[in-house]
Structure 1
Amino acid sequence: MKQNRFKWIFIQLVTVIGLVYSQVCQPLTSELSTAYIFRHQPSLFTNEVESFKTIIPASNVTDKCCAYLNDFADNASNFIRCSVERARPLRFCEKCVDSFATVTSIYNDIEKNVGGCHVFLLDADRVQAILQIHTMIKALWDASDCNNCFTSGSIDVEQNGTVTYKYNTDTMDFMGKYDNFTECVDRYTNGTYPDFTSINYTVCHACLQMYQGLNDHYADMRKRYNGKICMDLVDMMNYTRLMWGDARDLNCTNHDRDDMPVLLTSIILLTIPFLFYGATCICGERKKLKIMTQKRLKNPISVEVSKTDNSHSNHVNSIS
C-alpha cells in the first residue's frame, strides 16, 4: 500500500513538472526572438532588416560630404607630413604650398556650405576636429610668414585641382644671389675651379663680393618686411652665415685685427686731460685775495702777559 502510494505521488509530481515546463519553454515568437531566428534562418528576415536600415541610417553624412571629408583628410595628412620632412633644412613654404592651398580650398568650400556639408562636418559636435586641424595648419603657415614668399593673391587652386603660385621679386632676387654664392663656394671647395691652382685666391676672397651682396639684400628685406621674412629665406641666410664664419667650415671672418685705431683712441683719451689743464693754467686769470681790515679800532691794543714762579699769579699789563 505504501509503495503504491509513493508511486502515485511520484507520477503526480512528474505530471505537474511536465505541465509547468511545457508552459515555460514554449517556442519564442518572431517578435521576441529576432536575433535567434536571424542567426539560424537569416533568409526569413533579410528584407525586413534592409528596410529597417533605410529608415534609420548608420550615418547622416551624404556621399558628397564624405568626399569632402576624405579629400580634407588626405590633404591635411600630406601637409603635415611635408612640413615635418622639410623641417631641416627648412624649405617648408616652397615645398608645402601645394598641399596647403588644396586643404585650405577644401575647408573654404565646407565653410561656405558647398553641398550642404557645413552642418554635418563643422557643427555636428563640440570637438570640431576639422576646424581644429585647419586652425593648426593655418597657424603653422602664418608663423612661418610663408605668404611673404609669394606675390599677394597669387596662390590659387584651379578647377582641375592644379595649384598655381608666383614668387615675389624679393624672393626671386634672393634665390638668384644665393644660387650664385653657393655655386662659387662649391667650385673652390670641390677644387673644380679651372685656375684654382695657378691663382692665389681662396674661397673667402673669391666669393666675398657675392656673400656681401646676398647679405645686403637680406638686410634690405628685413627693413622692407619689418623682420617678417619668409622662413625659407631666413633659414637659408642663417646657414650661409654659419658656413661663412664658422671655424669648422669656411672660417672667413677670422681676419687679423688692426690695433692702430684702438691705440690712437687710447692716446687721444689720455692726452685730453693734460691738454685741458695745461690750457687752463696758461690762459686762465689768477684772482688775488683782498684782506679786509677792521675799521672799528683805530689804535691797536697789545696785551702783555707775565708769569712769576713764586706767586703763581699772572700780571697783565696793558700798553696802549
Structure 2
Amino acid sequence: MAAYYSVLFFILLYSMILKADIYNKEATNTVSLMMSDPLNNVTCDSILNEFAEYAADFTKCSIMYARPVRLCEKCIDQYINFTKKYKDMLTAVENGKPCKSVYISQDRLDAVLEYHDNILSIWNKGNCHACYDWSQAVPVLSNETKYFITIFQETTSCIEENNKTCTNSSQVCANCMQDYLKLDNYYKTLSADAIGVDSICMDIVDSMNTTRSTWSKTLNCCKIRRTPEIIFLCCAGIISALPLFYYVVLRYCGPIRDFPNVLKQSRFKQTILRSLNGRIN
C-alpha cells in the first residue's frame, strides 16, 4: 500500500512540475511578444486620444512661441511626440483591424489627416528641420544653429547693456559694431547657397530680421551708409535736370527768337496764286 501511495505522489508531483513549466513558457512567450510589439495591447481609441493630446500640445506651443519665432527650438519635443503617435496609428492593429482604416480617409472631413498635414505644414514652412542634426536617435541643435544663437545672444546683450549706460545711440552703435558685423556676416554665409534664405531655420531668420530692424531703425546705426546714398541721389537728380535746364536757357536766351518765319504759305496755296495771276495777265 505504501508503494502505491508513493507512486501516486510522484505522478502528481511530476504533473505539477510539467504544468508549471508549460505556464512559464507561455508567460515568457507573452512577455517577449509584448516586448517585440509595443502596440500589442494598445487600443485604437487610446492611440487616437494620445494623438489628440500631442496635437493640442504642439498647437499650443507653436502659438506661444510664434512671436518672436522660437517654434523650432521650443516645440521639438511636442513635434516628435506628435509624429511618433501618428506613425503608431498607421501601424497599430486591434482585433485584426488596422487603426488607420478606422480614423484616416474614411469621410470627406478626414479630421485626423487634416490636423496632421496642417501641423506638418507649419513645421515645414518654418524649415525647422534645418535647425537640427538628425543623424542621432534624438535630434539635437546643429553646430551652425548653436553658433548663431551664441553670437546672436552676444549682440543682443551688447545692445541691451549699452542702451542702459550710453547717453545716445551713436555710442551703442560704436560699441556693438563688431558684434553686429560678426552676426550679420555669419548669417550671410548661411544663406549663401543656391536656395538662399528659404533654406534657413525660421528661428534664425526671425532673430536676424529683428536684430537688423533694431540696428537700422531703432538705433539708426546705418546713417553712415545713408550719407553716400543721399549724395548719389542728389547727383542723379542734378544730371537728370541738366537737359531740361539747357533747353530752357536756349529758348529764352539764345538766338532762336530772331529766326525768320519760314514757309508761311504752303506750296498748294502758292500754286493756286500763280495760276490766278497767269489768268489775269
TM-score norm. by structure 2 comes to: 0.60
- Within 5 Å, give how 1:167-316 maps onto structure 2: 167-191=141-165, 202-224=171-193, 226-227=196-197, 228-246=199-217, 249-255=218-224, 257=227
Distance in 1 between residues matched to 2:135 and 2:119, nearest whole Å: 19
SS at match of 1:90: coil
- Within 5 Å, give how 1:53-92 maps onto structure 2: 64-92=43-71
Amino acid at match of 1:226: G
Amino acid at match of 1:257: T
Distance in 1 between residues matched to 2:160 and 2:178, nearest whole Å: 15
Q: Which fold has the larger relative contact order, with Cα–Cα distance below 8 Å and residues 6 or more apart in sequence? A: 2
The structure with the greater share of residues assigned to helix is 2
Q: Which residue of structure 1 aligns with residue 257 of structure 2?
A: none
Q: Which residue of structure 2 aligns with residue 128 of structure 1?
A: 110
Distance in 2 between residues matched to 1:254 and 1:223, nearest whole Å: 26
Of 127, 133, 139, which aligns to 1:165?
139
Distance in 1 between residues matched to 2:200 and 2:93, nearest whole Å: 35
For residue 165 of structure 1, report the CA deviation from its aligned partner.
2.6
Question: Which ranges of structure 2 fall in alignment gaps of 5 or more residues?
Answer: 1-40, 240-281
If you compute each CA radius of gyration, which structure gives the higher value, 1 or 2? Answer: 1
Question: Which ranges of structure 1 fall in alignment gaps of 5 or more residues?
Answer: 1-61, 157-163, 270-320
For residue 101 of structure 1, report the CA deviation from its aligned partner.
0.8
For residue 114 of structure 1, report the CA deviation from its aligned partner.
4.9
For residue 257 of structure 1, report the CA deviation from its aligned partner.
2.4
Distance in 2 between residues matched to 1:79 and 1:251, nearest whole Å: 38
For residue 258 of structure 1, report the CA deviation from its aligned partner.
5.2
- Within 5 Å, give how 1:115-154 maps onto structure 2: 115=94, 116-154=98-136
TM-score norm. by structure 1 comes to: 0.53
User: Percent same amino acid at aligned positions?
Assistant: 31
For residue 90 of structure 1, report the CA deviation from its aligned partner.
1.0
SS at match of 2:223: coil
The structure 1 segments of at least 4 consecutive aligned residues displaced by more than 3 Å after TM superposition are 113-116, 123-126
For residue 110 of structure 1, report the CA deviation from its aligned partner.
1.1
Quickly say closer, same or farther: Cα 1:205–1:114, change in 2 above 3 A: farther
Distance in 2 between residues matched to 1:69 and 1:258, nearest whole Å: 63
**RMSD (CA atoms):** 2.7
Amino acid at match of 1:117: C
For residue 113 of structure 1, report the CA deviation from its aligned partner.
3.2
Amino acid at match of 1:216: N
Quickly say closer, same or farther: Cα 1:175–1:63, change in 2 above 3 A: closer
